[in-house]
Structure 1
Amino acid sequence: MKKAFFFLAMLSIGSIAHAQTDSSFTKGENNLEYKIYSSNQGELIKYGSFVKMHFTQMYRGAKDTVLYDSKDYTSPIQPIDTANLPGYYYAILKQLRPNDSVDIRIIIDSAYKNSQVPMPPMFEKGNYLYTCIKIEDVFSTKEKADSAINSEQQIAAMLQAQKNIAIFAKETDVINQYMASNKITGAIKTPKGSFIKKLKRGW
């Protein structure tokens, strides 16, 4: 797994509407600021555990832009250790429990100060990148985490199949409307969705 695969230069979440002007953020390491919304239930995340989380990344400027939303994919399961996670993110996540959320933010200037990746044109200095993380579950062993990953993959495959069926039905409707408006009759639909009309018998 790539080190901290979802941590770029981050930040966002449910309370994001007021986060930009909220001065109650705690200063963390490496120019990060964070605010925890605690459920006050369960044990704190331990080193070596595996965490299933949902996260959203957002750029807040003249217009808010969602850069990534894990709800569109499977919820990532992240090992909580310093081999896979930079220490400054671990310092924040170890304060969380199941069902907790955290807003993390970093000012654009700091995020790209030493980055080899150029700052996108849409970003302006002085604005923030936000990442909102919601802890959905915590697994104590790799085996339990792998089982959860398999379940996530099955759910993702089912959702994708449903999307494909919807797309297929929509495309079929468009084709039927086209044939009706152009008075095309006698077309046969193949099992894979193509429409064929025989114009002349071959030899």
Structure 2
Amino acid sequence: MDPNEPIESADSTPESTTNKPQVPPIPTDGTPKKKYVRAVGPNLKKLLYVVFALLALLGANSGYLASIIAMQWYTGETFENFFYFCMFLGHVALGLLLIVPFIVFGVIHMRNAAGRRNRRAVNVGYALFAVSVAVLISGLLLVRAGGFDLKAPTVRSTVYWIHVACPLVAGWLYWLHRLAGPRIKWKVGISYGTVVGATIVGMV
């Protein structure tokens, strides 16, 4: 034995063994690994953009209608002109266009997120969807079409205030829902609010 040759200890491990990548153990129960599904995938995100675009237009439209109603209540004068009725018809049209994409997005999104561990975000999402559906249903009930008309003053007034209040509740629930998700783009929201506010002032 060469005295200059290094002596390996008994517990030493060959270099080829230490550098070998560790292979994760293969499940022995035969259960396939569950595929991760995003709550909002690429295709669903496109539909979400459509929903956001319609909501943005509805928000500006609703702001104008609300400002006219508030001015009439405060001054006792009537400001409902031809442009107001065009905006009202636009409100109905945008609401009808929103129904299908919103329901489709909501159902798929809830299905994808049903098994998430963050139950608070999931439950708030359920509440947000329910309140949003209440907005859509109350809006449909307020439309006079095809011989349907809520003529009872108490019933119509109740449905109207549900339609007015629920969007505010939905906005609050959306904020809570997004706290558990991607960061809210406040700059976009502030820019949108500024443009909408200036537009409403110009129209009024």
TM norm structure 1: 0.23
Q: Which is higher, the Rg of structure 1 or of structure 2?
A: 2
1 or 2 for the larger relative contact order (CA 8 Å, sep ≥6)? 1
TM norm structure 2: 0.23
Between structures 1 and 2, the one with greater helix share = 2
